[in-house]
Chains A and B, each alone.
Chain A
């Protein structure tokens, strides 16, 4: 069990820094997900914590012990790779116990632990097989067993589910979560899949271009994105963005973009002034069909209806822009139809068009 702290981490390839002065605290027992687009530095961060990548500057501590220059084997961490990274010529049992055998753990202790993790992950029937005779899901279970048997201080997962099909991914995701609930080992999980991150994480570290864009619980990240980037990255279908102008009237704040006019909550955005330019963020899942005269009603023509099973995404065109929303009533809508839909003022996000930062007051509670 361990907390992890990264201080002023710099990683440079040649003169070009890919991570520049990153600070991060991960408390004990947490399940943290590093989320971000390809090349944002999330895997590099994970590999630096594992010791597989040199740190150009800064320090990494695990359980308050400086491990910055320790070799990977001495950091007491276990890692699960995207490619599974099994030893191809060894049987499943040998793969799982390789680390323990290197540490000269007693044979019967190894057997006891092997039986325990094999039972936990349902690998008993495969212990004598070679990895190539296993399916992708089974191979990834072996990789997890190999990590678990060491009872490390920290689990590191580097996109472990990316090579699996959707159904299996969901199943293993649940298993990983359950294992964490019972072992409570501090875990870092890297993914570029926001849905995976939302479902599995205690806390999400959203990264972009080597910087941390926002750290928060899945709810915080979803409901209170700190920037336009976070808002855009999280949530399916993706958020709608509109350039708008603010006007202050007796009823409060009004954002107008062409024919579109939306009421904003003045408590949430006390800093907004008359005439300021902003970028509005409207989550499709926070909008639904409404009466034409409802508050914040928008009127558009249906361009496309996307069936997602229990609900549908409606892509509409209004005032030259495409705006989508989600509704359960999608089956009665047809392209070309005129629809009215609305968003509650509390669910509108407002961003500074220059910095991309959220203009929501930090004092205001969720």
Chain B
């Protein structure tokens, strides 16, 4: 057998499985989105674009879209900023390999926790009556602060947990990337009168531009899948203050009313928008990195 058919044949089972999983679920969702199916009744009829048109008049949908965009920007930016800052701080201050490795190990723990476990831990930490954060704030005369019940704080408070999990993980990755950089350009910059922050701003981080863009994309995709974290911590509340699109779709389709078709339409729209957005971001990132 020649190479090409053999390669195709070897790939076929995996591709068939993936295609089945993707096509069946996406196809099913599109089909549902064009019906007026609810969980309450077994009957449904074809309604065309009705669900999509209704979405455009749904203020709660646009609220969820806005929350999703804010969540996305906040968690991605927060994660990368925290990772860059901590990685540089450790790179410059912790020189002994043993301490570095211990720190890296500690920083890996949060991301190893299941989301739900992390969410519960932080719910306790945030608790106005029992939480250690409010206890500490109480010592300096602040609070108690309703982190998860205050609409203006809830989204940020949940985002902090996400940044805690991923920011520390990315810190480890960035620190290791910094360690792999050649020493010479850094030393040349030292001889060129660059201060420490200038060395990183003008030399090391630009040299890591490619990997950092990849990290941003990975985190952006990951941030889209924060349903479990938000669901456990706030359930989308208070009100709709932390209700992202996937939470709203869940509320619509499963929790309240069981309007499966409406929720499917929302999911399809989300799929289309994110695919387009990520293709553009990916291409732009590529061009910028080169």
- Contact between B207 and A89, CB atoms less than 8 A apart: yes
Contact partner of A98 (CB less than 8 A), chosen from B182, B184, B202, B207, is B202
- Contact between B194 and A102, CB atoms less than 8 A apart: yes
The chain A residues found within 8 Å of chain B, CB to CB, are 50-52, 71-74, 77-79, 81, 83-90, 98-99, 102-103, 146, 150
| B182: nearest chain-A partner, CB-CB | A83
Tell me which residues across on chain B come within 8 A of A81, comparing CB atoms.
Answer: 184, 187-188
Tell me which residues across on chain A come within 8 A of B194, comparing CB atoms.
Answer: 73, 98-99, 102
B206 at the interface (CB under 8 A from A): yes
Tell me which residues across on chain A come within 8 A of B20, comparing CB atoms.
Answer: none
Tell me which residues across on chain B come within 8 A of A102, comparing CB atoms.
Answer: 192-195, 198
**25 A–B contact pairs at CB < 8 A?**
A50-B187, A50-B191, A52-B191, A72-B190, A73-B190, A73-B192, A78-B191, A79-B187, A81-B184, A81-B187, A83-B182, A85-B182, A85-B184, A85-B187, A87-B189, A87-B203, A87-B207, A88-B207, A89-B209, A90-B206, A99-B191, A99-B193, A99-B194, A102-B193, A103-B193
Cα of A102 to Cα of B195 in the assembled complex, Å: 8
The chain B residues found within 8 Å of chain A, CB to CB, are 182, 184-185, 187-195, 198, 202-203, 206-207, 209
- Contact between A73 and B193, CB atoms less than 8 A apart: yes
Tell me which residues across on chain A come within 8 A of B190, comparing CB atoms.
Answer: 51-52, 71-73
Tell me which residues across on chain A come within 8 A of B192, comparing CB atoms.
Answer: 73, 98-99, 102, 146, 150
Tell me which residues across on chain B come within 8 A of A86, comparing CB atoms.
Answer: 185, 188
- Contact between A98 and B191, CB atoms less than 8 A apart: no
| B192: nearest chain-A partner, CB-CB | A99
Residue of A71, A77, A87 contacting most chain B CB atoms (<10 Å): A87
Tell me which residues across on chain B come within 8 A of A72, comparing CB atoms.
Answer: 187, 190-191
Cα of A86 to Cα of B203 in the assembled complex, Å: 10
Q: Known A-B contacts: A51-B191, A88-B185, A99-B194. Give 8 more (CB < 8 A).
A: A50-B187, A71-B190, A81-B184, A87-B206, A89-B209, A90-B206, A102-B194, A102-B195
| B203: nearest chain-A partner, CB-CB | A87
Cα of A99 to Cα of B194 in the assembled complex, Å: 7
| B186: nearest chain-A partner, CB-CB | A85
Tell me which residues across on chain A come within 8 A of B207, comparing CB atoms.
Answer: 87-89
Tell me which residues across on chain A come within 8 A of B203, comparing CB atoms.
Answer: 87
Tell me which residues across on chain B come within 8 A of A90, comparing CB atoms.
Answer: 206
Cα of A150 to Cα of B192 in the assembled complex, Å: 9
Contact partner of A73 (CB less than 8 A), chosen from B182, B184, B191, B202, is B191
How far in angstroms is the closest Cβ of chain B from A113? 14
Tell me which residues across on chain A come within 8 A of B195, comparing CB atoms.
Answer: 102
Cα of A50 to Cα of B184 in the assembled complex, Å: 13
How far in angstroms is the closest Cβ of chain B from A110? 13
Tell me which residues across on chain A come within 8 A of B184, comparing CB atoms.
Answer: 81, 83-85
With A99-B193, A102-B193 as known contacts, state yes or no: A146 contacts B198, CB within 8 Å.
no
- Contact between A79 and B198, CB atoms less than 8 A apart: no
- Contact between B191 and A87, CB atoms less than 8 A apart: no
Cα of A88 to Cα of B188 in the assembled complex, Å: 12
